[in-house]
Amino acid sequence: MRVAIVGASGAVGQEFLRVLAERNFPVDELLLFGSPNSAGRTYTFKGRDYEVKLLQENDDFRGVDVAFVSAGGSASKRYAETITKHGAVMIDNSSAFRMEDDVPLVVPECNAEDALTRPRGIIANPNCTTIIMVVALKPIQALSPIKRIRVSTYQAASGAGAAAMQELQEQCRQVLDGEEVKVDKFPHQLAFNMIPQVDVFTDNDYTKEEMKMYYETRKILHSDVKTSASCVRVPSLRSHSENIWIETEAPVSVEAVRSALSAAPGITLVDDPAHGRYPMPLESAGRDDVYVGRIRQDLADPCGLTLWLTGDQIRKGAALNAVQIAEYLIKVGQLK
Ligand code: 2RA
C-alpha cells in the first residue's frame, strides 16, 4: 500500500509514524509531506529514512492509497483536491470537513460503517475530546439512549501541538528558576495554572472546542443528544481527561455500565475506588485505550450517571483513530 502522511513533522504526524510501525500497517511505500518549514527533514520508519517533501498542488499523490492528513484546517481545505483527485482516501485530522454532510465523521468503535460512503474521498477524524468521550458513551447508549451530556474537560498541552508541549516544559522551568515566563501557544501562562479556554470563543460564549463536542457527538452517535461542555487546558503534558455527567432515558445501574464498558472495544476499566484506582493522564499517556473509572450514580438525577475518563489525545484522540479507520477499510476490502 502507498501511504502518505501530510504534516509529518507535527505531534500527530510523528505519532502516525509510530502507530503505523507498531501496528504493522501494510506500508509498501511511504511518502511524507510538510510545509516549507519541515520539507527536507528526514524521519526514520522501520529502519529506513524518509525525507519530507514540500506539500504543493501537483500530482505527487498519484498512486497513493491512503493519506493521513494533520496539517491544520486551511492546509486540508487547500490541498484536499490535490490529495484525493487520483483516488487516495484522505483521512483528515482537522476540523475543516467534519460537519459537512458528504464527509463521514468516524470513530471505529461507534460508527465504522459511516466510512464506507465518502463521495469526496474524505473521511474526517473527530476532535480529540469528542473521540475519547464517544468511545466510552457508545456502550452506555446501547443500554438506554443518552438524552443529555454535561462534560468538563481537563486538556493536556499536547492538544495544542508539539511546540505547546515544549512551551509548558519551558514555562515550568522558567517559574522554578524565577525567570520571566514566556507565553506564545496558550492564551495565558499554563505552568502551575489552568485556563478555562480551549480555542476561540463563539457568539454564544462557548468556545469552538466546546461546540465541537456538541455537534460532533450528535453526528457520530446518530443521535440528537445535547452536550454542554466546559473545556479547560491543564498543565499535564499529554493525555486529556474528562468528567462526564450523562442523563439516560431510563435508569441504568452502575453495575450494568461497568459490565458494558468492560466488554467494549477500546476501553480499559479502572474503577476500584476502595483501593484508590482510577484513571489518570500519566497512566494513559502513550497508550491506545480510553481509561474509564469513578462510575457512579448522579446524586442529583435518578436517570443520571457520572464517570471520569482519560485518553491519549495524540493517540486515540488523533493518529490511532485515523489508522483504525484505514484498518477498517482494509478489513472490508475498500483499501487494498
Ligand atoms: C486541543 N482539542 O486539545 C484540541 C486539539 N484538537 O487543543
The string of pLDDT tens digits covering residues 5-21 is 999 999 999 999 999 99
Identify the residue whose C-alpha is closest to ligand 1 atom 1. 159
* pLDDT tens, position by position, 65-117: 999 999 999 999 999 999 999 999 999 999 999 999 999 999 999 999 999 99
Question: What pLDDT, on a 0 to 100 scale, did the predictor assign at position 104?
Answer: 98
Closest to 171 measured CA to CA, from 155, 154, 192: 192
Q: Contact at 8 Å (CB) between 221 and 208?
A: no
pLDDT in tens, 110-137: 999 999 999 999 999 999 999 999 999 9
- Give the ligand 1 atom nearest the CA of 313: 3
Torsion-angle region of 131 (φ positive above 0: left; ψ -120 to 50: alpha; else: beta): alpha
The HSE-up count of residue 262 (CA atoms within 13 Å, CB side) is: 9
Map out the domains of the chain as residue ranges. Answer: 2-125+318-332, 130-156+194-311
Q: Which residues line ligand 1 (CB under 6 A)?
A: 127-129, 155, 159-160, 198, 209, 313
- Find, among 107, 81, 82, 113, the residue nearest to 93 by Cα: 107
Residue appearing with cell numbers 505531534: 11
Determine phi and psi for 223, rounding to 5 degrees. -145, 160
User: Which residue is associated with the grid cell 479556554?
Assistant: 197
Catalytic residues: 128, 240
**Whole-number mean pLDDT of the chain?**
98
CATH of range 130-156+194-311; options 3.30.360.10, 3.40.50.300, 3.40.50.880, 3.20.10.10? 3.30.360.10
DSSP E strands in the chain: the ranges are: 2-6, 29-34, 42-45, 48-54, 66-69, 89-92, 122-124, 146-155, 226-233, 240-248, 267-269, 290-297, 304-311
Please report the pLDDT score of residue 233 as a whole number: 98
DSSP 248-267: ESS---HHHHHHHHHHSTTE
Does the annotation place 10 within a ligand binding site? yes
pLDDT over 90 at 336, yes or no:
no
Instruction: Read off the pTM.
Output: 0.97
pLDDT digits (tens, 9 = 90+) for 99-113: 999 999 999 999 999
Q: Which of 152, 168, 313 to mutate to test the pocket of ligand 1 (most atoms within 8 A of CB)?
A: 313
Ligand 1 atom with the smallest distance to the CA of 127 is 6
* Residue the block writes with cell 473545556: 231
Considering all CA atoms of the chain, what is the largest pairwise distance in Å, rounded to the nearest integer? Answer: 60
CATH match of 2-125+318-332 with 3.40.50.720: yes
Nearest CA to ligand 1 atom 3: 159
Q: Pairing relation of β-strands 304-311 and 240-248?
A: antiparallel
Q: 9 a known binding residue?
A: yes
Mean pLDDT confidence for 277-303: 97
Interval 256-288: pLDDT, tens:
999 999 999 999 999 999 999 999 999 999 999
Query: Ligand 1 test: best mutation among 92, 95, 209, 217, most atoms within 8 Å of CB?
Result: 209
264 a known binding residue? no
